[in-house]
Amino acid sequence: MNKNISCPALVVAAPSSGSGKTTVVAALARYFTNLGKTVRVFKTGPDFIDPNFLAFASQQPVYQLDFWMCGEDHCRQLVAEAAKDADLILIEGVMGMFDGKCSSADIAAKLGIPVLAVINAGAMAQTFGAIAYGLANFRQDISMYGVVANRVGSAGHAEMLKEALPDNLEFCGYLPKNLGLSLPERHLGLVQAQELDDLDDRLNLAAELISQHVEIKLPPEAQFTPVVSAAPKRHLEGVTIAIAKDTAFSFIYQANLDLLEALGAQLCFFSPIKGDELPDCDALYLPGGYPELYLEELAANTGLKQQVHAHVNNNKPVLAECGGMLYLNNSLTDSEGKPGEMCGILNAESTMQSSLAALGLVEGELLPGEALRGHTFHYSKTDSSEEIACYPVSQRGRQLDPVWRHKQVIASYIHWYFPSNPKLVAKIFKGTL
């Protein structure tokens, strides 16, 4: 029998997106990290941008939790592993507390972790109590740790909010309205952490405000049971995978990198927008990001484009996800109508749009009976004449943009979650798909 592992833990949830979950989690993570504590942070649902901030705040890698995309056993194992050496585990929720097929509430209930609710109180008073009461009582399998008010106007305002709470709900404090805490946004979410030169100052300010206005103490210990699973066979032993990684190609699950290394692969990183050449490699991984913001830099790196052409013509494998796929197309036109010449490997053209084109968890059957899961979230439209490998299906059963294939290139709008099918991932990067 596996021995349980104990660690203080909280799920930080909210009534809706935009309530300030990321700010509160990042502030708590930075506060305890500054005290010398090891804080491990997780993000509910598929997301790349928030985890970058949380990793920067905690100085630890951040992983995603979703029972459908990742698998429940995999999620339990990730948290149990983190609990072995962590002083605190924080799990940032997704959207509203009860939203989605794997909601923040589902995570809290199944993992046995209490919930800290963050409520944007900027435009309310006593209604704060009603919202908090609803979050605490909508489901009976949730344990509420307490409530934090965000964007509070004054100490008097905070006292009014506290008085509105039911007696059995703990008011843990508040964060004041403060422009220094706000983070700039763009399509797909916040501006990336690595783009903000003053991020350390912002996080330290958030940690200081947390210490002034929020009751700071470690929550009760939760119990986590390790899940026994066999280590993956090293199908990629001796395979070197080059991975594009910079602010244009930054949407990479940490769990994907961990799995590739567990499969035996050697990973090497390069930056297309900084003019890097393609490293000597057996396979190429082009993740998503914001290539549309770097059209000139990508177009100007002609040497890299030629090397990627040679890689593909030598029938070496490439996995291109969303922005990585856009880079392989003939051209990419930004939202202002400015075109950029891309690699021209895939006979396709892509154009950015002002409205969201697709969002959701997906599954693609890349071989008969063998599927890989992930998610899609993009603002562009692609017209392609390449061979269609499959039509992925959303978690709700809707057919989405196809997965295209060109020689050993697998390209789509999907950000794949590799641990959902390690054997299939190995076939992709060995070129045996």
pLDDT, residue 178, reads 74
Note the pLDDT tens digit of each residue in 49-76. 888 889 999 999 999 999 999 999 999 9
Looking at the fold, whether 215 and 264 belong to one and the same domain comes out as: no
Cα distances (angstroms) measured from residue 143 to each of 91, 115, 116, 228, 376: 15, 6, 9, 27, 32
Task: List the catalytic residue out of 75, 322, 343, 390.
Answer: 322
Which one of 178, 194, 224 terminates a domain? 224
What domain range includes position 9?
5-224
Q: Which helix (H) or strand (E) holds 216?
A: none
pLDDT averaged over 10-residue windows placed end to end, the chain, 433 residues = 87 95 94 96 91 93 97 96 97 96 97 97 96 97 96 95 95 84 60 76 89 89 89 95 96 97 98 97 97 95 98 98 96 92 96 80 95 92 94 91 96 97 97 93
Looking at the fold, whether 24 and 49 belong to one and the same domain comes out as: yes
Query: Does 234 map to a domain?
Result: no
Q: Could you report how far apart the first and last alpha carbons of the chain are, in Å?
A: 38
**DSSP labels, 91-158:** EE--SSTT-STT-HHHHHHHHT--EEEEEE-TT-STHHHHHHHHHHHS-TT--EEEEEEEEE--HHHH
Query: Does 364 map to a domain?
Result: yes
Dihedral angle, C-alpha 169, 170, 172, 177, nearest 10 °? 30
CA distance 366 to 319: 12
Looking at the fold, whether 277 and 174 belong to one and the same domain comes out as: no
Which one of 224, 252, 271 terminates a domain? 224
pTM as predicted: 0.94
Residue 208, Cβ density class (10 Å: 0-12 exposed, 13-18 middle, ≥19 buried): middle
Looking at the fold, whether 365 and 400 belong to one and the same domain comes out as: yes
The neighbouring-strand residues paired with 174 are 149
In this structure, what CATH number is given to the domain that contains residue 131?
3.40.50.300
Cα distances (angstroms) measured from residue 327 to each of 221, 287, 290, 308, 406: 46, 10, 10, 11, 14
Query: Does 232 map to a domain?
Result: no
* Number of structural domains found in the chain: 2
Looking at the fold, whether 197 and 272 belong to one and the same domain comes out as: no
Query: Does 207 map to a domain?
Result: yes
**DSSP labels, 6-72:** EEEEEEEE-SSTTSSHHHHHHHHHHHHHHTT--EEEEEESS-SHHHHHHHHHHTS--EEE-IIIIIH
pLDDT, residue 230, reads 83
Looking at the fold, whether 309 and 285 belong to one and the same domain comes out as: yes
Looking at the fold, whether 244 and 98 belong to one and the same domain comes out as: no
CB distance 9 to 91 below 8 Å: yes
pLDDT, residue 196, reads 74
CA distance 122 to 150: 7
Residue 75: active-site member: no
In this structure, what CATH number is given to the domain that contains residue 266?
3.40.50.880
CA distance 118 to 13: 6
pLDDT, residue 180, reads 60
